C-alpha cells in the first residue's frame, strides 16, 4: 500500500485544483513563508477526518474554504482527495456485523468536502460515507486519528508535551491497535444497546406483569366458572326435567278435574231446571178448582138456608091452616087439579130458582112464586068454600117439594164437600211434593255452590300453575345465559320417578347458589380475555426468550471486549518493548549515547475527556477509573538531567523525532508528514535527521515541509509553493537548486 497523490481544491489558499504526486518516497515541500505549505499539511489532516478546527488553524468550516482575492472569486466549498494504491488489498472496513471486510479496489480514494454552512461530506471511492467509516478504514492501515504521523509546524515536540494518556493513544495508533479500540467501542455500544434492550425488556415484562397476572386470575376464574357451569348444567338437567314432568302432570290433573267438575255442574244445573218445571202450574190449577168448589158449596148452603126458611114458613102456614081449619071447620077445598097446577107452577119456579146462582136471578122467580101464591090466596078467598083442606094439602105438597128440594141440595152439598175435601188433600200432596222438591233443589244448589268453589279453586290452581310455568320458562332463559343451549339438554334426560316438591326446592336453592357465584365470576367477553391472555403470555414468553438471548449476547460481547482488551494489552506491551528497542537506538544515535525509554504508568482518573466534532471537551461519566499512560524516560549522555521539561528546544525535538521514528519503525505508517520538524536542528543533527528520513522512507512515504537544505537534499521530489499574483497558492515541481532559492 502506498500513498499515490493528494488533490486540493478550494481548500484554504489553494483556490485551484492542485495535485501533489507522491511517486518518490521522500517528497519535500518548500516555499517562502505564508505561501501555503502548512495548508498542504492541514489538507492531509482535513481529508483524514480531523475534527479539531484548532489543529487546522480555523474556527469554522468556512475558514477552510478559499476566501477569494482581488482576482479570484471565493470557492463554494473546499475539497481534498487522497489516493492510495491498494493493490495489496490492505484496506479494510468494518461492516455492520462487526467484521472487517477487505475493500476490493486497487485504488482507495478518500475525500472530504466542506461547505460554507459547515456541512461536511466524506467520500470513499465516489460514494458518500460516514466519518466513522473513514476512521475505521484508516485504523485498518495504522493511520489513527491521533495524528501521530502528521507533525505540524512547531509540533516537533508534541509527543513530549502530550500527557500520558495522549501518548498512549498515539502509540496505540502507531502500533495499529486503534482498530481494536474501535472494535471495543463498537462492542461497548452494542453492549450498551443490548443492556438498554434488556432493561427495556425487563421493564416491559414488569409493566406487563400486573396485567398478565390479572388476566391469569381471570382465566382461573373462567376455569372455575367452567366447572361451575358443568355442575350447573348437570343440576339443571335433572331439575328441569323433574319440573317439566311435574308441570305437565299438574296441568293434566287440573284439566281433568276441571272437566269433571264442569260436567257435574252441568248435570246439577239440569236437575235444578227440571225441578222447577210444571210444579207450580199444577198447584195453581188445583187451588183454582178448590176455590170454585168452595164458592159453589157456599151458594148451595145459601140456597139450602133459603129453602130451609121456606120450609119453615110452609110448615108454619100448614100449622096456621090446620089450626084455622080446626077452628072454622070449614074446609074450602080446591079441586085436586087446581092444586096440582099451582104446585106444578111453583115447582117449576122453584126449580128455576134452584138453578140460578145468584140472588138477583132468583128474585124474579121468587116474585113469580109470590104472585102464584097471591093468585092462590085470592082464589082461596074467593073460594072459601074450597076449605082449608085444600090449602093444607097444597101447603103439604109444597112442603114435600121443598123437602125433596132440600134433600137434593143436601146431596149436592155433600158431593161438593167431598170434592173440596179431595181437592184439599190433593193440594196438600202437591205442597208436600213441592216441599220435597224444594229440599232437593236446595241440596243441589248447595252442591252447585260447592262445585263452583271447586272450580274457583281449580282456576286458582291454574293461575299458580301458570306462574310456575312462567318461572320454569324464565329459569330456562336465565340458564341459557349462563350455560348456553345446553340448558335444553333436560329434554332428553331420563328420570325414574318424579322428585317430590321438597327435593325440587332443595335442588332449586342449590342451583340458585351456583347461579349467584357464576354471575359473580362471569365477565363479558371471556373469549377475548382468553385470547388476550394467550397473546400476553406468548408475548411474555417471547420477551423472556429475548431476555435470555440478550443476556447470552451480552456475555458474548463482554467476552469479546475482554478478549480485545487483553489483545490490546498484550500487543501494546509487546509494542512498547519493540518501540523501546528502536527508541534506544534512535536516541543514542541522535544524542551520541544516553538512554531513552517508555514506561507504562497507571493513574486514577475521575473523568474521561472526549472531544466532540468541534474539538470541544465532552464529559463522559464521572466514575473513577484507572487510566494507563506512557512516561518518557530520558537520560542524556554526560548530563544528569532526566526531566523532559528541563531539555532544550533542540533536545526536545531530537527526543521527539527519535521516539516518532522508533514508533514508525516498529509499525511503519503508510506515510509521515513532517512540517518543519527539523527547524531547530543544527547542521550535525540535520544530517542525522536526514539519515533517519532515508531509513524511514524505505517503509513509509515521507512528505516533508522544510526550509532545511540538508533535508531538501534527501528528497527525491521537491514541490515549490508560491503565492501567485492572484493571491492563491501555486504548486510547481522544482529542482534542488530552485528549491533552495524558493525556500528562502
Ligand atoms: P511558513 O513558511 O511561514 O510556515 P507557510 O507556507 O506554511 O508559511 P501557510 O501557513 O501554509 O504558509 O499559509 C498561510 C497563508 O494561507 C496565509 O497567507 C493565509 O492568508 C492563507 N490562507 C489561510 N486560509 C485561507 C483561506 N481560507 N483563503 C485564502 N487564503 C488563506
Ligand 1 contact, 13 CB (< 6 A): yes
708 alpha carbon to ligand 1 midpoint, in Å?
19
Closest CA to 478 of 519, 521, 526: 519
Mean pLDDT score, 523-542: 82
Chain segment 566-601, per-residue pLDDT in tens? 999 999 999 999 999 999 999 998 888 999 999 999
Categorize the per-residue pLDDT at 310 as very low, low, confident or very high, splitting at 50, 70 and 90. confident
Ligand 1 contact, 77 CB (< 6 A): no
Chain segment 201-260, per-residue pLDDT in tens? 999 999 989 988 988 888 888 888 888 889 999 999 999 999 999 999 999 999 999 999
DSSP 157: T
670 alpha carbon to ligand 1 midpoint, in Å?
26
Ligand 1 test: best mutation among 12, 57, 60, 724, most atoms within 8 Å of CB?
12
Distance between CA atoms of residues 221 and 37, nearest Å: 85
643 alpha carbon to ligand 1 midpoint, in Å?
36
Categorize the per-residue pLDDT at 346 as very low, low, confident or very high, splitting at 50, 70 and 90. confident
Q: What pLDDT is attached to residue 623?
A: 58
- Residue 5 pLDDT > 90: yes
Q: What pLDDT is attached to residue 596?
A: 93
- Residue 469 pLDDT > 90: yes
Ligand 1 contact, 152 CB (< 6 A): no
Report CA torsion sign: 112, 114, 118, 124.
Answer: negative
Protein residue with least CA distance to atom 25, ligand 1:
12
- Residue 102 pLDDT > 50: yes
Percent of residues, the chain, with pLDDT higher than 70? 92
Q: What pLDDT is attached to residue 384?
A: 57
When the pLDDT of each residue in the chain is averaged and rounded to a whole number, the result is 87
Closest CA to 214 of 523, 533, 524: 533
706 alpha carbon to ligand 1 midpoint, in Å?
15
Categorize the per-residue pLDDT at 339 as very low, low, confident or very high, splitting at 50, 70 and 90. confident
Contact (Cβ atoms closer than 8 angstroms) between residue 731 and residue 709: no
Ligand 1 contact, 15 CB (< 6 A): no
Ligand 1 contact, 68 CB (< 6 A): no
Q: What pLDDT is attached to residue 619?
A: 53
Ligand 1 contact, 61 CB (< 6 A): no
| Residue 654 CB-half CA count within 13 A | 29
Q: Round to the nearest angstrom and report the end-to-end CA distance of the chain.
A: 35
Q: What pLDDT is attached to residue 744?
A: 61
680 Cβ partners below 8 Å, 6+ apart?
156, 649, 650, 653
689 alpha carbon to ligand 1 midpoint, in Å?
26
Ligand 1 contact, 730 CB (< 6 A): no
The atom of ligand 1 lying closest to the CA of 729 is 16
644 Cβ partners below 8 Å, 6+ apart?
160, 632, 634, 652, 655
323-332, 526-535, 547-556: which has the minimum mean pLDDT? 323-332
CB atoms < 10 A from the CB of 33, how many? Answer: 10
Q: Would you give the distance in Å from CA 146 to the centre of its chain?
A: 60
Mean pLDDT score, 134-157: 80
Categorize the per-residue pLDDT at 551 as very low, low, confident or very high, splitting at 50, 70 and 90. very high
Instruction: Indicate the pTM of the whole model.
Output: 0.57
486-500, 548-562, 606-620: which has the minimum mean pLDDT? 606-620
Q: What pLDDT is attached to residue 340?
A: 86
62 alpha carbon to ligand 1 midpoint, in Å?
15
The atom of ligand 1 lying closest to the CA of 35 is 6
Distance between CA atoms of residues 66 and 8, nearest Å: 11
Closest CA to 26 of 741, 583, 654, 692: 692
Chain segment 671-717, per-residue pLDDT in tens? 999 999 888 888 988 998 999 899 899 989 999 999 999 999 999 99
Work out the burial of residue 341: count CB atoms within 10 Å of its CB; fewer than 13 is exposed, 13-18 middle, 19 or more buried.
Answer: middle
- Residue 734 pLDDT > 90: no
Distance between CA atoms of residues 665 and 668, nearest Å: 5
Q: What pLDDT is attached to residue 80?
A: 97
Q: What pLDDT is attached to residue 365?
A: 86
Ligand 1 contact, 279 CB (< 6 A): no
Ligand 1 contact, 168 CB (< 6 A): no
Distance between CA atoms of residues 29 and 742, nearest Å: 10
- Residue 621 pLDDT > 60: no
Mean pLDDT score, 519-534: 75
34 alpha carbon to ligand 1 midpoint, in Å?
5
> 659 vs 544, 569, 585, 597, 656, CA distance in Å?
55, 20, 10, 9, 5
Protein residue with least CA distance to atom 26, ligand 1:
12
Q: What pLDDT is attached to residue 547?
A: 92
SS3 state at 3: strand
The atom of ligand 1 lying closest to the CA of 723 is 18
Q: What pLDDT is attached to residue 331?
A: 45
Closest CA to 38 of 12, 15, 77, 72: 12
Contact (Cβ atoms closer than 8 angstroms) between residue 140 and residue 124: no
The atom of ligand 1 lying closest to the CA of 40 is 11
Ligand 1 contact, 66 CB (< 6 A): yes
Protein residue with least CA distance to atom 2, ligand 1:
33
Mean pLDDT score, 475-496: 90
Protein residue with least CA distance to atom 1, ligand 1:
33
SS3 state at 309: helix
The set of cell numbers assigned to 467 is 306462574
Distance between CA atoms of residues 122 and 46, nearest Å: 10
Ligand 1 contact, 57 CB (< 6 A): no
Chain segment 376-425, per-residue pLDDT in tens? 777 666 565 456 777 788 888 888 888 888 899 889 889 999 999 998 89
Could you tell me the domains of the chain?
3-176+574-603+626-743 (3.40.50.300), 279-325+334-379+389-446 (no CATH)
Q: What pLDDT is attached to residue 330?
A: 46
444 alpha carbon to ligand 1 midpoint, in Å?
146
Work out the burial of residue 276: count CB atoms within 10 Å of its CB; fewer than 13 is exposed, 13-18 middle, 19 or more buried.
Answer: exposed
Categorize the per-residue pLDDT at 97 as very low, low, confident or very high, splitting at 50, 70 and 90. low
Mean pLDDT score, 442-463: 93
Amino acid at each position: 500500500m502506498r500513498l499515490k497523490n493528494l488533490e486540493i481544491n478550494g481548500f484554504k489558499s489553494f483556490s485551484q485544483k492542485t495535485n501533489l504526486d507522491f511517486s518518490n518516497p521522500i517528497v519535500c515541500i518548500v516555499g517562502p513563508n505564508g505561501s501555503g505549505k502548512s495548508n498542504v499539511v492541514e489538507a492531509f489532516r482535513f481529508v483524514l477526518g480531523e475534527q479539531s478546527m484548532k489543529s487546522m488553524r480555523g474556527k469554522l468550516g468556512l475558514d477552510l474554504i478559499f476566501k477569494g482575492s482581488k482576482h479570484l472569486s471565493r470557492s463554494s466549498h473546499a475539497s481534498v482527495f487522497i489516493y492510495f494504491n491498494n493493490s495489496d488489498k490492505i484496506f479494510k472496513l468494518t461492516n455492520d456485523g462487526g467484521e472487517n471486510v477487505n475493500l476490493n479496489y486497487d485504488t482507495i480514494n478518500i475525500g472530504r468536502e466542506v461547505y460554507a454552512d459547515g456541512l461536511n461530506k466524506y467520500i470513499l471511492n465516489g460514494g458518500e460515507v460516514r466519518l466513522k467509516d473513514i476512521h475505521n478504514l484508516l485504523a485498518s492501515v495504522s493511520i489513527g486519528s491521533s495524528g501521530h504521523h502528521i507533525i505540524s509546524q512547531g509540533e516537533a515536540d508534541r509527543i513530549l508535551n502530550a500527557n500520558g494518556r495522549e501518548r498512549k493513544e498515539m502509540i496505540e495508533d502507531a502500533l495499529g491497535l486503534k482498530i481494536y479500540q474501535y472494535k471495543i467501542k463498537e462492542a461497548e455500544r452494542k453492549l450498551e444497546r443490548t443492556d438498554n434492550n434488556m432493561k427495556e425488556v425487563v421493564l416491559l415484562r414488569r409493566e406487563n406483569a400486573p396485567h398478565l397476572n390479572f388476566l391469569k386470575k381471570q382465566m382461573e376464574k373462567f376455569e372455575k366458572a367452567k366447572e361451575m357451569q358443568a355442575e350447573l348444567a348437570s343440576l339443571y338437567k335433572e331439575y328441569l326435567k323433574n319440573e317439566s314432568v311435574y308441570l305437565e302432570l299438574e296441568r293434566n290433573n287440573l284439566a281433568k278435574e276441571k272437566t269433571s267438575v264442569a260436567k257435574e255442574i252441568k248435570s246439577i244445573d239440569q236437575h235444578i231446571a227440571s225441578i222447577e218445571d210444571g210444579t207450580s202450574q199444577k198447584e195453581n190449577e188445583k187451588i183454582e178448582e178448590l176455590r170454585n168448589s168452595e164458592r159453589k158449596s157456599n151458594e148451595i148452603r145459601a140456597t139450602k138456608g133459603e129453602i130451609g126458611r121456606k120450609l119453615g114458613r110452609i110448615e108454619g102456614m100448614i100449622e096456621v091452616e090446620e089450626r084455622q081449619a080446626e077452628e072454622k071447620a070449614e074446609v074450602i077445598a080446591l079441586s085436586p087439579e087446581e092444586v096440582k097446577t099451582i104446585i106444578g107452577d111453583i115447582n117449576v119456579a122453584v126449580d128455576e130458582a134452584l138453578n140460578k146462582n145468584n140472588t138477583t136471578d132468583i128474585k124474579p122467580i121468587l116474585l113469580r112464586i109470590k104472585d102464584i101464591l097471591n093468585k092462590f090466596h085470592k082464589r082461596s078467598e074467593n073460594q072459601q068454600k074450597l076449605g082449608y083442606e085444600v090449602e093444607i094439602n097444597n101447603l103439604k105438597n109444597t112442603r114435600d117439594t121443598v123437602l125433596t128440594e132440600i134433600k137434593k141440595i143436601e146431596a149436592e152439598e155433600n158431593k161438593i164437600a167431598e170434592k173440596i175435601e179431595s181437592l184439599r188433600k190433593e193440594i196438600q200432596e202437591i205442597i208436600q211434593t213441592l216441599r220435597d222438591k224444594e229440599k232437593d233443589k236446595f241440596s243441589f244448589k248447595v252442591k252447585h255452590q260447592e262445585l263452583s268453589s271447586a272450580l274457583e279453586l281449580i282456576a286458582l290452581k291454574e293461575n299458580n300453575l301458570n306462574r310456575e310455568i312462567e318461572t320454569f320458562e324464565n329459569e330456562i332463559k336465565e340458564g341459557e345465559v349462563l350455560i348456553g343451549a345446553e340448558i335444553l339438554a333436560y329434554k332428553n334426560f331420563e328420570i325414574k320417578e318424579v322428585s317430590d316438591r321438597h327435593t325440587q326446592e332443595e335442588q332449586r336453592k342449590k342451583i340458585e347458589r351456583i347461579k349467584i357465584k357464576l354471575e359473580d365470576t362471569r365477565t363479558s367477553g371471556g373469549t377475548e380475555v382468553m385470547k388476550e391472555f394467550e397473546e400476553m403470555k406468548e408475548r411474555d414468553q417471547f420477551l423472556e426468550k429475548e431476555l435470555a438471548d440478550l443476556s447470552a449476547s451480552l456475555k458474548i460481547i463482554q467476552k469479546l471486549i475482554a478478549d480485545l482488551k487483553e489483545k490490546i494489552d498484550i500487543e501494546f506491551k509487546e509494542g512498547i518493548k519493540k518501540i523501546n528497542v528502536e527508541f534506544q537506538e534512535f536516541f543514542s544515535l541522535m544524542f551520541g549515547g544516553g538512554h531513552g525509554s517508555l514506561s507504562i504508568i497507571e493513574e486514577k482518573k475521575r473523568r474521561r475527556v472526549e472531544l466532540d466534532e468541534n474539538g470541544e471537551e465532552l464529559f463522559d461519566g464521572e466514575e473513577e477509573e484507572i487510566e494507563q499512560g506512557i512516561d518518557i524516560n530520558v537520560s542524556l549522555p554526560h548530563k544528569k538531567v532526566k526531566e523532559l521539561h528541563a531539555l532544550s528546544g533542540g533536545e526536545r525535538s531530537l527526543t521527539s523525532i527519535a521516539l516518532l521514528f522508533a514508533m514508525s519503525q516498529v509499525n511503519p505508517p503508510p506515510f509521515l508528514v513532517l512540517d518543519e520538524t527539523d527547524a531547530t536542528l543544527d547542521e550535525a543533527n540535520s544530517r542525522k535527521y536526514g539519515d533517519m528520513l532515508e531509513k524511514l522512507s524505505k517503509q513509509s512515504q515521507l512528505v516533508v515541509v522544510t526550509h532545511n537544505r540538508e533535508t531538501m537534499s534527501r528528497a527525491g521530489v521537491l514541490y515549490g509553493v508560491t503565492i501567485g499574483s492572484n493571491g492563491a497558492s501555486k504548486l510547481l515541481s522544482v529542482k534542488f537548486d530552485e528549491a533552495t532559492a524558493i525556500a528562502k
